[in-house]
Structure 1
């Protein structure tokens, strides 16, 4: 079955359930979901990508050598978001340190060799408290192998606004995974009181945060049961994976 069709079908199946229903004490309910998510979001690895600034230029986990051009505009000036990350003490950059291939983490893959101008980027002690390195593999093939995508991000703390609704827990109909899953819609916004650098408009405006008129952004996330029957965030919770 085509993956996209399967994903749509799964959402349709989940949507058949009653949302936000009162469940018995040993089943999932709104209070449990709020506890799971409010706890999970204290760890910046779990906040939505739209709460993060993504450093331009694919590279391995910092410190790393990146292509200088990726840090610059077409006119050769330092990008405003990069300049703001430096100005707010999140990273240090040594520009034009030499020529060669950027530092790229591709275990089991062959890096594309280049002779380009490189700049060395490091995370400061302050930056480490907001830093997040993400890896994901493409579903398609690159030279017969799945591609690996890497992102260096600086994520803001968020305010969790509560659950809007959740879909009735159900077994995924497309595989043999015995665990129940549910898709939860929730509200969030950046927490300016815990993320001082959001006051810099060049960083605050770089977030993918697009609130509704009430000031909250809407997002969905996947919860699943583990082997012990407890509900929690699974791997890649923002993706329906099966």
Structure 2
């Protein structure tokens, strides 16, 4: 076994320990889960800082300013430094100027994206339920049926959220009730797809534990789990109960 294979197996064992520690929260909140949760958050924060420097600050700011002579990028330091005035009670208004400008830019960009995304949907929602004449009959009937279903769902769901007319009216109540059923179907489909995505992540972790982790790890893992559980329940829990009783 060469050194690369040894490091691969060590990495697999470390990954298995981290996975089992995170999965331990499914049984009960415990300090081991908290420890690995903090390790994960710390690693993610450190990696985020490194990626920000490598992909953003160094490539788009430091390198053009130092290597390409674009000295005006130094003015960005003043703008970035304005953020830190938020920690000063006396000069906090300086940071609010920058936050206000950024929020205004963000709101304008968001509205532009909203208009480009949803306004075309409004025009696309006007569908014809009349079969087109320039296509084969089967395709025309299928297209007309799809458009009819779309129009029915659209009208019924809009009726469910249309509160200017009292829903006590029989026609309005039936239409809104049908729209609510359509909404439940849609939410159920979205929830099912979310569960499927989470299950795929879980299956990937289980496959990693079964296939990639060395088999000699598992006897030690079981023994360590029993020892840790014994220490936790018979010492930490007992002390906690004694403190609560006192």
Per the normalisation by structure 2, the TM-score is: 0.21
Greater strand percent: which structure? 1
User: Between Structure 1 and Structure 2, whose CA radius of gyration is higher?
Assistant: 2
Per the normalisation by structure 1, the TM-score is: 0.21
